[in-house]
Amino acid sequence: MAWYKSTLSRSQVDGAKGRKVAEKLRGLEGPWKTQLHREAWLRDHHENVSVGEQWDVILGTIGAGNHFAELQVAEVSSITGNEKASLGQHDVVLLVHSGPRGYGGSLLKKYTAHSQISLEETSPEGIAYLEDHNQACKWAQANRDLIALRFLSCLEPGNEQWQLGASEANSDNYLDVLAIKQTKEALQQRKLVDI
């Protein structure tokens, strides 16, 4: 789960106005851009956390089951020593609850397919599983960030920082690695926590 600050106000998401906000959330079901764009999004500090096109194609989508995104309103102020993580009363945040989607389950099946219910941490299988698990966790974090970007592009359409996530931008095949890097940095400024 990850929480991101929104510039929306409580009055914009309450009651009938909230339904209008929800109506803006269109075009988020399909794949985001091209595989090259997704791989660029998944590259962080010269490490590529792509898990292959079969799984990367769902990057930035919520899926089903217990995966969701919702707007939440702070009922009371939460002032911490970290100004970035502080919330004022009535601040609106976007909660994204999503993981590595089906990829995590596929890893579990891969390592437990032969009736093996546990792995020794230092065994070759245990080491390989932990590497794959860590890759899946990094992919899931990038997925939550891209979901947030796509939502924020709908919720805050005038904000140029979120243009990369806009649905109408999906037809643009030009890959601007610098724009992806800058967008990811701007998104991190909005992220409160990712657990």
Overall domain count for the chain: 1
Looking at residue 168, what is its pLDDT?
67
Q: Which range marks the domain in which residue 132 is found?
A: 2-194
Divide the 195 residues of the chain into consecutive groups of 10 and give the mean pLDDT of each group: 93 88 84 93 88 94 86 85 76 93 88 80 92 94 96 90 77 83 94 92
- CA distance readout (Å), 9 to 6, 52, 97, 153: 8, 39, 22, 16
Residue with tokens 């940095």: 185
Looking at residue 183, what is its pLDDT?
95
Dihedral angle sign, alpha carbons of residues 136, 141, 144, 150 = negative
Looking at residue 81, what is its pLDDT?
64
Looking at residue 130, what is its pLDDT?
93
Looking at residue 171, what is its pLDDT?
55
Neighbouring CB atoms inside 10 A of 108's CB total 13
**Residue 23: is it exposed, middle or buried by C-beta count within 10 angstroms (0-12/13-18/19+)?**
exposed
Structure tokens that stand for 6 in this block: 């929104």
Looking at residue 172, what is its pLDDT?
62
Looking at residue 45, what is its pLDDT?
73
Looking at residue 119, what is its pLDDT?
84
pLDDT digits (tens, 9 = 90+) for 38-90: 999 999 877 889 999 999 999 999 877 788 999 999 988 887 666 666 788 88
The CATH number of residue 154's host domain is: 3.90.1860.10
Looking at residue 157, what is its pLDDT?
84
Q: What is the 3-state secondary structure (H, E, C) of the chain?
A: CEEEECCCCHHHHCHHHHHHHHHCCCCCCCCCCCHHHHHHHHEECCEECCCCHHHHCCCCCCCCCCCEEEEEECCCCECCCCHHHCECCCCEEEEEECCCCHHHHHHHHHHHCCCCCCCCCCCHHHHHHHHHHHHHHHHHHHHHHHHHHHHHHHHCCCCHHHHHHCHHHHHCCCCCHHHHHHHHHHHHHHEEEEC
Q: Which percentage of the chain shows pLDDT scores above 90?
A: 54
